[in-house]
Amino acid sequence: MNWPHSVTPEALLKKAREAQQAAYVPYSRFPVGAALLTAEGTVILGCNVENASYGLSICAERNALTTAVALGERHFVAIAVVGRHGEPCLPCGACRQFMAEFNAAFFVVLEEGTESLLYRLDLDLLPHPFVLEGAFPLEA
Ligand SMILES: O=c1ccn([C@H]2C[C@H](O)[C@@H](CO)O2)c(=O)[nH]1
Protein backbone atom coordinates (compact mmCIF):
# COMPACT_ATOMS: atom_id res chain seq x y z
CA MET A 1 0.00 0.00 0.00
CA ASN A 2 1.32 3.44 -0.94
CA TRP A 3 1.91 5.31 2.30
CA PRO A 4 1.25 9.04 1.64
CA HIS A 5 3.50 10.87 4.11
CA SER A 6 7.08 11.37 5.34
CA VAL A 7 5.95 10.65 8.92
CA THR A 8 6.17 6.84 9.00
CA PRO A 9 3.49 4.39 10.18
CA GLU A 10 5.91 3.24 12.88
CA ALA A 11 6.40 6.78 14.19
CA LEU A 12 2.63 7.24 14.27
CA LEU A 13 2.16 3.98 16.20
CA LYS A 14 4.69 5.17 18.75
CA LYS A 15 2.67 8.36 19.26
CA ALA A 16 -0.52 6.32 19.65
CA ARG A 17 1.22 4.30 22.36
CA GLU A 18 2.07 7.55 24.17
CA ALA A 19 -1.53 8.72 23.88
CA GLN A 20 -2.73 5.45 25.42
CA GLN A 21 -1.07 6.43 28.71
CA ALA A 22 -3.78 9.03 29.29
CA ALA A 23 -6.73 6.66 28.73
CA TYR A 24 -9.44 6.86 31.41
CA VAL A 25 -10.80 3.31 31.54
CA PRO A 26 -12.06 2.39 35.05
CA TYR A 27 -14.84 0.21 33.59
CA SER A 28 -13.36 -1.77 30.70
CA ARG A 29 -9.70 -1.61 31.74
CA PHE A 30 -9.02 -1.50 28.00
CA PRO A 31 -6.87 1.56 27.26
CA VAL A 32 -6.73 2.72 23.65
CA GLY A 33 -4.50 5.37 22.09
CA ALA A 34 -4.83 7.11 18.74
CA ALA A 35 -2.48 9.38 16.79
CA LEU A 36 -3.92 11.37 13.94
CA LEU A 37 -1.68 12.68 11.14
CA THR A 38 -2.59 15.84 9.22
CA ALA A 39 -1.47 16.59 5.67
CA GLU A 40 0.96 19.21 7.06
CA GLY A 41 2.57 16.64 9.38
CA THR A 42 0.95 17.63 12.67
CA VAL A 43 0.16 14.70 14.98
CA ILE A 44 -2.85 14.98 17.29
CA LEU A 45 -3.41 12.47 20.09
CA GLY A 46 -6.53 10.90 21.56
CA CYS A 47 -7.35 8.29 24.20
CA ASN A 48 -10.60 6.64 25.27
CA VAL A 49 -12.51 8.32 28.07
CA GLU A 50 -15.16 6.22 29.81
CA ASN A 51 -18.12 7.19 31.95
CA ALA A 52 -20.20 5.65 34.76
CA SER A 53 -23.06 5.91 32.25
CA TYR A 54 -21.26 3.43 29.98
CA GLY A 55 -22.80 4.52 26.68
CA LEU A 56 -21.33 8.00 27.02
CA SER A 57 -17.78 6.66 26.70
CA ILE A 58 -15.77 8.14 23.85
CA CYS A 59 -13.29 6.15 21.78
CA ALA A 60 -9.68 7.23 21.31
CA GLU A 61 -10.19 7.79 17.57
CA ARG A 62 -13.13 10.18 17.93
CA ASN A 63 -11.37 11.94 20.79
CA ALA A 64 -8.39 12.60 18.48
CA LEU A 65 -10.64 13.73 15.63
CA THR A 66 -12.73 16.16 17.69
CA THR A 67 -9.60 17.55 19.38
CA ALA A 68 -8.03 18.11 15.96
CA VAL A 69 -11.11 19.87 14.59
CA ALA A 70 -11.22 22.11 17.66
CA LEU A 71 -7.59 23.04 16.86
CA GLY A 72 -8.63 24.05 13.34
CA GLU A 73 -7.39 20.90 11.55
CA ARG A 74 -9.52 19.13 8.94
CA HIS A 75 -7.12 17.59 6.44
CA PHE A 76 -6.22 14.18 7.79
CA VAL A 77 -4.26 11.47 6.00
CA ALA A 78 -3.85 8.71 8.57
CA ILE A 79 -4.62 7.50 12.07
CA ALA A 80 -2.72 4.96 14.19
CA VAL A 81 -4.63 3.04 16.86
CA VAL A 82 -3.25 0.80 19.62
CA GLY A 83 -4.91 -1.34 22.27
CA ARG A 84 -3.36 -4.54 23.61
CA HIS A 85 0.29 -4.88 22.66
CA GLY A 86 0.78 -6.62 19.34
CA GLU A 87 -2.95 -7.07 18.64
CA PRO A 88 -4.68 -5.05 15.92
CA CYS A 89 -7.22 -2.69 17.55
CA LEU A 90 -9.75 -2.16 14.79
CA PRO A 91 -11.81 1.04 15.01
CA CYS A 92 -15.50 0.55 15.83
CA GLY A 93 -18.18 1.34 13.26
CA ALA A 94 -18.96 4.74 14.75
CA CYS A 95 -15.30 5.80 14.51
CA ARG A 96 -15.06 4.55 10.91
CA GLN A 97 -18.03 6.70 9.94
CA PHE A 98 -16.51 9.64 11.84
CA MET A 99 -13.25 9.26 9.89
CA ALA A 100 -15.09 9.01 6.56
CA GLU A 101 -16.56 12.46 7.18
CA PHE A 102 -13.10 13.96 6.67
CA ASN A 103 -11.35 11.56 4.31
CA ALA A 104 -12.90 8.48 2.71
CA ALA A 105 -9.41 7.21 1.86
CA PHE A 106 -7.97 7.50 5.39
CA PHE A 107 -4.97 5.27 6.11
CA VAL A 108 -5.42 3.29 9.32
CA VAL A 109 -2.28 1.96 11.03
CA LEU A 110 -2.54 -0.90 13.51
CA GLU A 111 -0.11 -3.18 15.32
CA GLU A 112 0.25 -6.84 14.52
CA GLY A 113 2.97 -8.46 16.59
CA THR A 114 5.97 -6.19 16.14
CA GLU A 115 4.86 -5.14 12.64
CA SER A 116 2.56 -2.38 11.47
CA LEU A 117 -0.61 -3.34 9.65
CA LEU A 118 -2.03 -0.89 7.10
CA TYR A 119 -5.66 -0.56 6.05
CA ARG A 120 -7.47 1.91 3.86
CA LEU A 121 -10.82 3.12 5.19
CA ASP A 122 -12.55 3.13 1.79
CA LEU A 123 -11.07 -0.15 0.52
CA ASP A 124 -10.98 -2.26 3.68
CA LEU A 125 -12.90 -0.87 6.64
CA LEU A 126 -15.85 1.22 5.42
CA PRO A 127 -16.45 0.87 1.67
CA HIS A 128 -20.03 2.23 1.91
CA PRO A 129 -20.22 5.09 4.43
CA PHE A 130 -23.39 7.05 5.04
CA VAL A 131 -23.26 10.26 2.99
CA LEU A 132 -25.61 13.20 3.17
CA GLU A 133 -26.36 14.36 -0.33
CA GLY A 134 -25.80 18.06 -0.90
CA ALA A 135 -23.64 18.60 2.19
CA PHE A 136 -20.05 19.78 1.73
CA PRO A 137 -18.59 19.91 5.26
CA LEU A 138 -15.06 20.97 4.23
CA GLU A 139 -16.37 24.06 2.42
CA ALA A 140 -18.70 25.08 5.25
O1 LIG B 1 -11.22 1.20 18.40
C2 LIG B 1 -11.58 1.29 19.58
C3 LIG B 1 -12.28 0.28 20.24
C4 LIG B 1 -12.65 0.47 21.55
N5 LIG B 1 -12.35 1.64 22.19
C6 LIG B 1 -12.68 1.81 23.61
C7 LIG B 1 -14.12 2.00 23.97
C8 LIG B 1 -14.12 1.53 25.42
O9 LIG B 1 -13.65 2.59 26.25
C10 LIG B 1 -13.06 0.44 25.45
C11 LIG B 1 -13.64 -0.97 25.42
O12 LIG B 1 -14.56 -1.10 24.38
O13 LIG B 1 -12.26 0.65 24.30
C14 LIG B 1 -11.66 2.64 21.55
O15 LIG B 1 -11.35 3.68 22.15
N16 LIG B 1 -11.32 2.45 20.25
> Which domains, ranges and CATH numbers included, belong to the chain?
1-90 (3.40.140.10)
- For β-strands 76-82 and 107-112, DSSP reports them as parallel
For residue 134, the model assigns a pLDDT of 72
Neighbours of 39 (CB within 10 A): 14
Catalytic residue from among 61, 73, 115, 133: 61
pLDDT digits (tens, 9 = 90+) for 66-83: 999 999 999 999 999 999
For residue 139, the model assigns a pLDDT of 56
For residue 60, the model assigns a pLDDT of 99
Q: Where are the alpha helices (DSSP H) in the chain?
A: 9-20, 60-70, 93-100
List the chain residues with pLDDT less than 50.
Answer: none
Q: Is 61 a catalytic residue?
A: yes
ipTM, two decimals: 0.98
The CB of 25 under 6 Å from ligand 1? The reply is: yes
Expressed in angstroms and rounded, the spacing between residue 75 Cα and the centre of ligand 1 is: 24
Q: Which atom of ligand 1 is nearest to the CA of 95?
A: 1
